[in-house]
Amino acid sequence: MGVGHDETPAFSLLGPPGRVVAVHNEREHAPDLRLDEVFEAITRGREDEEALEALFFQRTRDAEVVRYRHEVFRDLDDPAVWEAALAFCGSVREVLSHLSQARAMRVSEQRQGWTLDAAAIYCAAVRKLAGDLDGLRLGSRGMRDFRRYLLECSASAEFGRLEAESDECKAALGDLRYCVHIDGGRVTVTRDEGETDYSEEIHSVFERFRQGAVRSYLVSYRAWPGMTSVGQRVLGLVVRLFPEEFALLGRFTERHAGFFDPGVDRFYRELQFYMSYRQLVDSIRSGGLELCYPEVDAQSKEELVEDTFDLALAIKLLSAGEKVVANDFHLGEGERIFVVSGPNQGGKTTFARTFGQLHHLAALGVPVPGRQARLFLCDRIFTHFEREEDHSGMTGKLETDLLRVQQTLRSATAASVVVMNEVFSSTSLEDNRLLGAEAMGRLIELDCLTVYVTFVDELASLAPSVVSMISTIVPGDPAQRTFKVVRGPANGLAYALALAEKYRLTRPQLLERIP
């Protein structure tokens, strides 16, 4: 039972109270989009790591839920709110660490002491957060609802008793003074009757020899905070000397064993979703890139994104001090499919991965890579990226590709997003053209949003709903990639010719060079 409230409250930072949130929890596309790497990195080491990571795979098609989460993120953009949240989370982690240590203690009085310390830290954290939030301007419904709850909790009689009794108990234990006498193998514990503190006397004697700042030769030992058998026996003697104080400690821990309020606990755990992603946002922005709160719609498929980038690649490049290339794209009325072609190693796969990432992140209600964005809220994301052939089975690469594409076409709906990167690459050009045209025809019928990366130029002009995108090269130097992907007609032949001219391999050039 928590302090002030007997049941977990209805408020949530993740969605409007009382609203049923339709959640999609697929992870199959995450490895292809490298989102599993991103989410694992930002949740590593946090409290309840697996549950937190799971939140980043629970997407919604409810635009109101997305906007609700944007409001919370915008509150955290306020430095005062952010600092209050950071301080609170730090204190709660300390509380949870104390409780974890207490459960590992073998001696009841030590276990009770760690629980008392945890309760005192908890009371101070709740009191401070209530004071901090009370004076701040909050724009989100989630944060305002929690502030109201927290103020009621901190003003409740139950919380007041917890706070007063923890103070009383700590003061009583803090006033205890005793002496330990060691005579050979005999240890005696007595009350302190004003004996001389020899540590202070020694310190004062040697203080006269201090000559400014000197190197410290003290050695720090890191040890488990449990007790040795000798320590346990000494503690037992101290308990016998001060029975009333330790009885007070026992009554406190028995009465307040479940002091952590369920609403405060829920706020802390849901806040980790925002805090972990917000720290990623800060690191990306410090590298000169932008993330924004996208406009989202579960109906309109017209999209616009400016200065976007592959989030996983950006993390890697920024850590190495390298430049990240951003791209733009838009889908107008009736446009549904991007066919991306161009030279190898020119950014086509990165563009495809970025497209899939954007739709996953938009459905989480988090900031997305880009200066501005308008995105469709999809029901599912399907990805097909080239994988190594599995020689353990009886199927070849082409058959595996065909089965995967068939499954996607059967499962996808008009509300889905499909990302296909160089499928059917193991076939001849003619077979790739035929199979690609068949798959594209089905995708066009489905009317779903798609990115299709291919070297077959003809697929870029199959229907009015298809938009041709090309990866570009440095003008005058076809061997140099810009990693920019732009709208333009597919023309692999022109690229091949430019490359041949650069290395003097065209027919006229060869004829000139051959005697």
Whether 402 and 427 share a structural domain:
yes
Is residue 239 in some structural domain? no
Confidence of residue 210 (pLDDT cuts 50, 70, 90): confident
pLDDT, tens digit (0-9, with 9 covering 90-100), for 487-513: 999 876 544 555 455 556 667 766 777
Q: Which pLDDT band holds residue 144 (cuts at 50, 70, 90)?
A: very high
If asked whether residues 262 and 318 sit together in one domain, one would say no
User: What angle do the packed helices 348-362 and 311-319 form, to 10 degrees?
Assistant: 110
Same domain, 335 and 467: yes
Q: In the prediction, which pLDDT does 89 show?
A: 96
Residues 266, 331 share a domain: no
Is residue 394 very low, low, confident or very high in pLDDT (cuts 50, 70, 90)? very low
pLDDT at 88: 97
Q: Does residue 2 register a pLDDT over 60?
A: no
Residue 389 reports pLDDT greater than 50: no
Q: Which domain holds residue 163?
A: 48-174+257-272
In the predicted structure, residue 129 carries a pLDDT above the cut 80: yes
Q: Mean per-residue pLDDT for 277-292?
A: 96
| pTM for the structure as a whole | 0.86
CATH number of the domain where residue 438 is located: 3.40.50.300
Is it the case that residue 80 has pLDDT exceeding 50?
yes
Please tell me the total count of domains within the chain: 2
pLDDT given at position 401: 86
pLDDT reading at 417 higher than 50: yes
CA 238, 239, 241 angle in degrees (round to 5)? 65
In contact, 253 and 116? CB cutoff 8 Å: yes
Same domain flag for 264 and 298 = no
Determine contact, residues 423/382, Cβ cutoff 8 Å. Answer: no
Residue 248 lies in a domain: no
- Report residue 198's pLDDT band, with 50, 70 and 90 as the boundaries: confident
Is 309 among the domain residues? yes
Q: Cβ distance 142 to 178 under 8 Å?
A: no
Q: How far apart are CA 458 and CA 322, in angstroms?
A: 35
3-state secondary structure 422-464: CCCCCCCHHHHHHHHHHHHHHHHHHCCEEEEECCCHHHHHCCC
What is the predicted pLDDT for the residue at 455? 86
User: pLDDT digits over 17-28, tens only?
Assistant: 876 566 777 889
